[in-house]
């Protein structure tokens, strides 16, 4: 008889897996600009933010640590570029807005816990599983998790800023396994990104689950992920773990 798999570690993505912003980025930026006397369309800011964030991530991965930046400087540059692309060319006018936005996004008040997250984390703990965070986030994450009452569930929080590598780089997953002192075959990762979370974890030999969320999955992604690895919501995780642990190791 094949022996059953017994998981020891679950690593978690955070944004849009456990937490989400209370309001879209464009709305947050527009409201803060309005408070400083600038009128900018939220939709324009939301679109510009996506462009600025992708460009900054490409030019300065892992918050630019290898290039001498701090994560605060990295984010302030993103805000400045966002407003510039949305038509606000006065960097001096945007600077205090950028400072305030950095502080606001550091606060747990800007974030909310997704439905089912706390109950699922508690259920995993009751099973004796160790939990950890592996997130493409910066140093503010631990304070945000603490403010929302989630940090106590985790043995450690590993951000891409601290590790020096963003997901899906295999080194950040290997560092999490090293910190937990477990083999990849008895670890699983949960996240909402097919590339960064699902494929990234499996590339180092971990199991993984893809949180589908409210939006339909891309058909190509859906065809690439076994149905039992797709979580329509976090409440589906514990039954999925039962299914996985009922399989022989290595599946």
Render pLDDT for 103-136 as a digit per residue (tens, 0 to 9). 999 999 999 999 999 999 999 999 999 999 999 9
What is the pLDDT at residue 214? Answer: 76
Neighbours of 83 (CB within 10 A): 27
Cβ burial, residue 26 (10 Å; 0-12/13-18/19+): buried
Q: Tell whether the model's pLDDT for residue 2 goes beyond 70.
A: no
- Predicted model pTM: 0.93
Residues 234/13, Cβ–Cβ less than 8 Å: no
What is the pLDDT at residue 93? Answer: 96
Q: State the virtual CA torsion across 172, 175, 181, 185 in degrees, nearest 10.
A: 40
Tell me the CATH number for domain 9-18+114-246: 3.40.50.1000
Same fold, 9-18+114-246 and 21-110: no
Q: Look at residue 247 and give its three-state secondary structure.
A: coil
- Give tens-digit pLDDT for 128-171: 999 999 999 999 999 999 999 999 999 999 999 999 999 999 99
Domain boundaries of the chain, sorted by first residue: 9-18+114-246, 21-110
Tell me the CATH number for domain 21-110: 1.10.150.720
Q: Where do the H-state alpha helices sit in 117-203?
A: 117-126, 141-147, 160-163, 170-180, 200-202
Q: How far apart are CA 139 and CA 179, in angstroms?
A: 18
What is the pLDDT at residue 251? Answer: 46
Q: Tell whether the model's pLDDT for residue 65 goes beyond 80.
A: yes
Q: Tell whether the model's pLDDT for residue 53 goes beyond 50.
A: yes
């Amino acid at each position: 008889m094949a022996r059953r798999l017994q998981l020891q570690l679950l690593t978690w993505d955070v944004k849009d897996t456990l937490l989400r912003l209370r309001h879209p980025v464009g709305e947050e930026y527009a409201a803060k600009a309005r408070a400083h006397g600038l009128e900018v369309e939220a939709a324009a800011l939301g679109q510009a933010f996506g462009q600025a964030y992708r460009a900054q991530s490409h030019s300065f991965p892992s918050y630019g640590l290898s290039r001498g930046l701090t994560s605060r400087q990295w984010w302030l540059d993103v805000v400045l570029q966002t407003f510039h692309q949305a038509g606000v060319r006065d960097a001096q006018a945007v600077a205090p807005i950028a400072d305030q936005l950095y502080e606001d996004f550091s606060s747990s008040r800007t974030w909310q816990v997704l439905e089912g997250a706390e109950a699922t984390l508690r259920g995993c703990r009751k099973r004796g599983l160790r939990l950890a965070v592996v997130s493409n986030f910066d140093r503010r994450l631990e304070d945000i998790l603490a403010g929302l009452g989630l940090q106590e569930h985790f043995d450690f929080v590993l951000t891409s800023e601290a590790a020096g590598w963003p997901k899906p780089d295999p080194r950040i997953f290997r560092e999490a396994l090293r910190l937990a002192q477990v083999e990849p075959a008895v670890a699983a990762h949960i996240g909402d990104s097919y590339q960064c979370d699902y494929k990234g974890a499996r590339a180092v030999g971990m199991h993984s689950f893809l949180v589908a969320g409210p939006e339909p999955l891309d058909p190509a992604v859906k065809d690439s992920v076994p149905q039992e690895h797709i979580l329509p919501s976090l409440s589906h995780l514990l039954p999925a773990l039962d299914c996985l642990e009922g399989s022989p190791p290595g599946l």
